[in-house]
Copies of this chain bind each other. A is one copy, B any other.
Amino acid sequence: MNQDYIIPDPWSIIEEGFDKERVKSSESLFSLGNGAMGQRANFEESYSGDTFQGSYIAGVYYPDKTRVGWWKNGYPEYFAKVLNAPNWIGIDLKIDGVFLDLNTCKKVANFKRQLNMKEGWYRRSFVATMPNDLEVAFEVTRFLSLDLDETGAIQLNLQVLNSDTEVILTPYLDGGIKNMDSNWDDKFWEITEVESEGNRAFIQSNTNKTNFAVCTFMHNEVYLDGSPTEASPIAIKNETSVAHSYSQHVKKDTTLTIIKYGGYTVDRNHPKNQLQHAANSVLDQASQLGFEELLRKQKEAWAQIWEMSDITIEGDVKAQQGIRFNIFQLNQTYLGKDSRLNIGPKGFTGEKYGGSTYWDTEAYCLPFYMATKNQEVGWNLLKYRYNHLQKAIENAEKLGFSDGAALYPMVTMNGEECHNEWEITFEEIHRNGAIAYAIYNYTRYTGDYSYIPQMGLEVLVGIARFWRQRVNFSQEKQQYVMLGVTGPNEYENNVNNNWYTNYLAKWCIDYTLEQLKKVEEEYPKDYARIVDKTKISPTETKDWVRVSGNLYFPYSEKYEVFLQQDGFLDKEMIKVEDLDKSERPINQKWSWDRILRSPYIKQADVLQGFYFFEDHFSQEELKRHFDFYEPFTVHESSLSPCVHSVQAAKLGRMEQAYTFYLRTSRLDLDDYNKEVEEGLHITSMAGTWMSIVEGFGGMRMMDGQLSFTPRIPTGWDSYSFKINFRNQIITANVTRDITSFQISGDADLYIMVHGKRLKLIPGETVMA
């Protein structure tokens, strides 16, 4: 563990004491988001110390020119990148002629940050002694509204404790920002207009190339001891920023307050020429409601989210804090309202990893969103990929595939590929399977088949075609093989017959064949449309059957396990526990070629297949494969521990399951990977949820029925989790002795618990 300054608390993330070394880390951990926009926990007042400034708007990106060492055919020339957006939170404070800046204060006492996850706000307070010996009590509360998701609100209170003084408050908007993560130092934004109107100001800007239009805005109100002042601001404008300066004489112990509303209106939601109008309208609403009322609504909105998604843990406050932090951040990042958006690996907390969508969404995040939100959210995530189908077909064409074969990109913002590392971009093709799997997963969990005839079948056909074209017949083996791939274990590149990828490919083809049949029989009109559009024919599907029936899977007779890939057993099979500690993590200590020829596994690979298709294998087979592969797994991906936690729990190894759980749930809070200052690992947070609900709780879908196998880690008194299952909220309470269930809604529901059938009745607590 790298850091442990976050104070354990069930509902809040708390930091006490000011430490300049922690500023960037805390800027990540205390980030705010509301699905539509987000920002790192940068200070409102100026700060001359080390900081990573970041504000982000969902869906607003920039196609940065690719940077490569050695160009390979097929690389994208440009790819979309998360864009640092104009800053609207800034409020400079000049007190008796000196700027308040924590980096230059003589003393900073009682420094505290609190991120209240229950209510969705963030507060920072301190008492500072300034270079001019003025003692200042400072408290600022900030939130990004869930109700009015184009705006956020800041309430900043200031007292000068040892003198009457002159304070100049200068809230501002700043469009002169740039990305840390820019390949060629391109200018990403063009500012088209800077305006000031009374206590409001606006910056109109366009992104270069993509031409997204954004209006950044603010509205400020100044109070003295709670009463509005009549102060009117002096506006200071330049080409890229606008500031409002309020001078105020403040008596000792009097509280000077500024309330600032700010945010963005974007042309995804409004006509381009109406952005300022829309901004005025949202500012009208916010200011009419006022800070307190807007905050009250915020608390309500978060209460509703928690109502459907909370997990409680008794007896382990760090575990409790960890899981809530993960659920909170996932909700800050994506609320599922808009199918044009998706879940970026860093959410609104940093710029790394460029584009927004990875296979993480389908493989890790979808189960969380399906179980904690309304069905529409899962639908929107699937629709996102349907909308990108044509781009996926074009992407496959660039790589030499044809006739409607679709390869979804490794990383994307708008359907185009945003990654350029041949061993990943061109070869880590299992991502295509995860997208098909998500369709299956959505269908079985929600019971809603409609996505498949409406959209999903086209996606499946494109994916099945890709797999068919991607394999070739080996005369040597007299079977179809898949050469030159990278599996989920990215510590192997360009291997032949990665078992997971082959298995997924076969499954995709078989599943597509099944769905074609079902849609033909049950949705003839949709079927006709799809046949017309895709030109799928019996000749083609017959060919698929032939390939699927004769696909090669590497297997070791000796160990009775499927092999991760051809030749896996030629490696020097030294277990991770026998490696010297100084060699770990290998991704920092070893050269790339050494990693590649080692047996070490970055994240579940064969076991990822056992996770997806658990019901295809016996418990005995799972055990054999887990025992074979886990000892070679270094878990150097944030997505690794969760799958292993679920499987260890299934194998009844609760201690191991718990160890994996801890590693995933507090990855960022405790900064295991020493990189939290770059932003949070948002998508892997869904894995933490999975560890509890599917791991400890043992939740599964089996034959259309929900089943549970609840277990409890040693050291926990109890835990509970909620899931939304087909519009009914099921709450499971697990203690050391017994599991009880409640269901909300208006219908009874049969579930399986430890293999026995149990009837849940609304309003009753049912013991299992």
* Partner-B contacts on A (CB < 8 A): 66-70, 72-74, 398-400, 420-422, 426-427, 472-477, 481, 483-484, 493-496, 566-567, 569-573, 587-597
Contacts and interface: CB of A to CB of B under 8 A. Distances in A.
Across the A-B interface, give the 6 residue pairs with the lowest CB-CB distance, nearest first: A74-B591, A426-B593, A484-B597, A72-B592, A476-B569, A483-B597
A571 B590 CA distance: 31
Contacts of A566: 566-567
B73 A591 contact: yes
A552 to B, nearest CB: 9
Contacts of A597: 472, 483-484
B570 A481 contact: yes
14 contacts: A68-B68, A69-B421, A73-B590, A73-B592, A74-B591, A426-B593, A481-B570, A483-B567, A483-B571, A493-B493, A494-B596, A496-B570, A566-B566, A566-B567
Contacts of A66: 69
A232 to B, nearest CB: 49
Main secondary structure of the interface of A (DSSP, over half): loop
Given A472-B572, A475-B573, A592 B426 contact: yes
Given A399-B593, A591-B400, A596-B484, A567 B70 contact: no
Nearest to A483: B597
Contact of A587 (B73, B420, B591, B595): B73
A415 B594 CA distance: 22
A523 to B, nearest CB: 36
Contacts of A596: 483-484, 494
B421 A572 contact: no
B74 A593 contact: yes
Nearest to A566: B567
Contacts of A496: 567, 570
A593 B427 contact: yes
Contacts of A493: 493-494
A572 B400 CA distance: 15
A400 B73 contact: no
A495 to B, nearest CB: 8
Given A74-B592, A484-B596, A591-B398, A476 B570 contact: yes
B69 A474 contact: no
A356 to B, nearest CB: 18
A597 B493 CA distance: 12
Given A571-B483, A596-B494, A73 B476 contact: no
- Per assembly, the copies of the chain total 2
Contacts of A595: 73
Contact of A67 (B67, B72, B422): B67
Given A422-B593, A483-B567, 18 more contacts: A67-B67, A67-B68, A74-B591, A74-B592, A399-B593, A426-B592, A426-B593, A472-B570, A473-B572, A474-B569, A474-B570, A474-B571, A476-B569, A476-B570, A483-B570, A483-B597, A494-B596, A496-B570
Contacts of A592: 72-74, 422, 426
A572 to B, nearest CB: 4
A593 B475 CA distance: 21
A569 B496 CA distance: 12
Contact of A399 (B421, B475, B494, B591): B591
A475 B400 contact: no
A571 B477 CA distance: 10
A421 B592 CA distance: 11
Contacts of A590: 73, 400
Contacts of A573: 475
Nearest to A492: B494
A306 to B, nearest CB: 39
A477 B593 contact: no
Nearest to A69: B68
A474 B569 CA distance: 7
A584 to B, nearest CB: 13
Contacts of A473: 572
Nearest to A421: B70
Contacts of A422: 592-593
A474 B572 CA distance: 7
A474 B573 CA distance: 9
Contact of A400 (B68, B567, B594): B594
Contacts of A67: 67-69
A423 to B, nearest CB: 8
Nearest to A587: B73
Which of A67, A73, A570 has the largest count of B CB atoms less than 10 A from its CB? A570
Nearest to A424: B70
A521 to B, nearest CB: 36
A539 B478 CA distance: 46
Nearest to A593: B426
A74 to B, nearest CB: 3
Nearest to A595: B73
A454 B69 CA distance: 39
A342 to B, nearest CB: 22
Contacts of A70: 420-421
A594 B405 CA distance: 15
A595 B74 CA distance: 11
Contacts of A495: 494
A497 to B, nearest CB: 8
A474 B568 CA distance: 10
Contacts of A476: 569-570
A483 to B, nearest CB: 4
A114 to B, nearest CB: 37
B591 A69 contact: no
A258 B475 CA distance: 72
A484 B69 contact: no
A582 to B, nearest CB: 12
B475 A569 contact: yes
Contacts of A569: 474-476
A323 to B, nearest CB: 32
Contacts of A72: 591-592
A398 to B, nearest CB: 7
Given A494-B493, A494-B494, A569-B474, A593 B484 contact: yes
A484 B400 CA distance: 26
A426 B595 CA distance: 11
A5 B494 CA distance: 43
A307 B570 CA distance: 55
A472 B593 contact: no
Nearest to A398: B591
A589 B475 CA distance: 26
A592 B588 CA distance: 27
A181 to B, nearest CB: 13
A66 to B, nearest CB: 7
A400 B476 CA distance: 36
Nearest to A569: B476
A302 to B, nearest CB: 38
Given A67-B67, A420-B69, A484-B597, A570 B426 contact: no
A566 B483 CA distance: 12
